[in-house]
Every structure is written in C-alpha cells, then in structure tokens.
Amino acid sequence: MSQPKISIRGVTKTFSVRDANLGRPSQFTAVSDIDIDVRAGEFLTLVGPSGCGKSTLLDLIAGLTKPASGTILLDGEPITGPGLDRGIVFQQYALFPWRTARGNIEFGLEAKGVGRKERRARAAEFLDLVGLSGFADRYPHELSGGMRQRVAIARSLAFDPEVLLMDEPFAALDAQTRESLQEELLSIWQRTGKTVVFITHGIDEAVYLGQRVAIMTSRPGRIKEIVDIDFETREGDLRADAKFGEFRHHIWTALRDEVAAAQAHEREAVGSVG
C-alpha cells in the first residue's frame, strides 16, 4: 500500500479550562487516541455529535494546534505548522472584514506569491464558481451568511492546496445551492486529485460525498467506525441507489447512540455548574 497522505496516530488533544468546582485550571480532553489514515486523493467525510472534537481534529491537521500526544504525518513527515499545502474552510468562515469578497479570495494567493494579474483572474474564476461574480466588491458584512460561506470556500480553493480541510462548509446554504456546490466540489476533486477531509452534520451529505465516512464518538472524540462507501458505480443518481439508504441507515444508527451520549454529557456538565 502506498503511503497515506495524512496519517494520524494516537492523537490526543487537551485544553486547559477553568473548572468552577476546583477553582483552578483543569485539563479537558477534546479528542482522545485518534487513529486514522487518509489516502492520497481520498475524499473522507467526518461525522459525529456536536462538541465531539471534529473542528479540533481539523485544527490539528492544519497545524494550528499541537496534539498533547500522538503524531500527525503529512506525506510521511510530521506536521510542524500550518502551510499552503492545506486549505481550510473554517466553520465560522473567518473572512477578513476589511477585504471585499475578491480581496478575501486573493488573500491566499498573495500569501502564495501569485502576481497581481493572475490573482485577479483566479479570484474572478472562483467567485464565478461559487456563483458570486456580481458580489466581488462587497464586504463580508454586506453578504448573507451563505454568501460568506461561499467566499470562504472559494478562498480555500483558489490557492490550490493539495489537501482541503472543510468544516461544515455547506451548513449555511439552501438545498439547491448546497447541491450545486457539492457537484462542483466533487468535480474539482475528481479533476485535481486533491485529498479532502470534510466535516458535516448531514448524513446524506457524508454518504454522497465521501469515499469513506469516519464516525466519531461523543466527547472525548475517538474514531468509532469507518464506513466504506463502496457504490458499484458513481454514475447516475446516487441518492436513488438502494445502497445509499443502507449506508445512511447504518451511519444514522451509529450516530444516534453517540448523540444520546453527548447530550447526557452536556446535561451533566450543566448540572454540575448549576
């Protein structure tokens, strides 16, 4: 087997948090002992109950934070920090409010050292891709939530990273826009052979996009199960395939227990404070 693009081994991430009961900082384990490989060119979707540590895991892969223990390898090399080889779409978009939609998309290109003319052209291309050609000169606060999300997607695609880390990138979109962007993303992925790690709360979306779906447990997040989405063919309407329903049901069942556990956790946390 060839070398995985991303290799996560025994990764645990803890945060220091104030503890009301103890009155001093304590360690909070967000994800624990994560083991997963992402193959080069793979589309991996990641599902799990809210608060289980999906975004935390993405930050770790991005190199924005360091694990408390364990290792993360990118192309066999330990990750030392963030880099332009990985593009992130943050859950909260994180657009620069003083830059227009175009300016935001150009940001990554500037970081990469792309010349002014080509930046313009690329930005226009990707604005068009996400259906925002007419909004190039709008500031983020002049855009709707879904539009901002699309700008963030365009920004991460524009500088052409090998790995795309996407944190619920389509959450704020209407069904039609979401479907068309799902198509776009799949076609970009197929065309460019990028490796994609895609977090979502939508089981349908996870099955539809992912070659594999990784299911995380409730907090502290671990990988509970990895489901291979092995359709015989990806031609035609996947969602109408009988297997689609099976995958869907399988993941739904696995998640139900975790969500219940997560909710029990959170109630506990609230109870202990109040």
Partner 1 sequence: MADVSLDRRPAGAAAPAPAPADDPAPVAEAVVTAKARPALNPARVLRGLGSGVNRIAAIVLFLIAWEVLPRLELVDAVFLPPFSEVVVAWQELAVSGVLWNHTQASLIRSLAGFAIAIAVTIPLGLILGWYKPVADFLDPLLELFRNTAALALLPVFVLILGIGETSKISIVVYACAWPILLNTIAGVKGVDPLLIKSARSLGLPPYRLFQKVILPAAVPTVFTGIRLAGAYSILVLVAAEMVGAKAGLGFLINDAQFNFRIPDMYSGIITISVIGLVFNALLLRLERRFSTWRTTQ
Ligand X SMILES: Nc1ncnc2c1ncn2[C@@H]1O[C@H](COP(=O)(O)OP(=O)(O)OP(=O)(O)O)[C@@H](O)[C@H]1O
Interface ranges with partner 1 (CB under 8 A):
15, 55-56, 59, 62-65, 81-84, 86, 88, 90, 92-99, 107-108, 110-111, 139-141, 148, 159
Regarding 55 and contact with ligand X (CB under 6 A), the answer is yes
Q: Does 52 bind ligand X (CB under 6 A)?
A: yes
Q: Pick from 41, 51, 131, 146: which binds ligand X (CB under 6 A)? A: 51
- Nearer residue to ligand X within complex by CB, 40 or 171: 171
* Closest approach of Mg ion to the CB of residue 172, in Å: 13
50 touches ligand X (CB under 6 A): yes
Q: Which of 7, 32, 45, 55 binds Mg ion (CB under 5 A)?
A: 55
Regarding 71 and contact with ligand X (CB under 6 A), the answer is: no
Q: Is 40 exposed, middle or buried (0-12, 13-18, 19+ CB in 10 A)?
A: middle
Q: Give least dist CB 193 to ligand X, A.
A: 27
Residue 210: which of partner 1, Mg ion, ligand X, none does it interact with, CB under 5 to 8 A by kind? none
The residue among 4 and 169 lying less far from Mg ion, judged by its C-beta, is 169
Interaction partner, residue 169 (ligand X, partner 1, Mg ion, none; CB < 5-8 Å by kind): none
Selected from 56, 104, 156, 182, the binder of ligand X by CB under 6 A is 56
For ligand X, the binding residue among 30, 109, 196, 214 (CB under 6 A) is 30
Q: Does 218 bind ligand X (CB under 6 A)?
A: no
Give whichever of 61 and 213 is closer to partner 1, judged by the CB atom: 61
Token couple for 35: 């083991």
Sign of CA dihedral 180, 215, 229, 6: positive
Angstrom distance (rounded) from CA 44 to CA 165? 10
Which of 10, 82 has the CB closer to partner 1? 82
For partner 1, give the closer residue by CB, 29 or 211: 29
Phi then psi for 122, rounded to 5 degrees? Answer: -65, -45
Contacts with ligand X by CB under 6 A lie at 15, 17, 28, 30, 48, 50-56, 91, 219
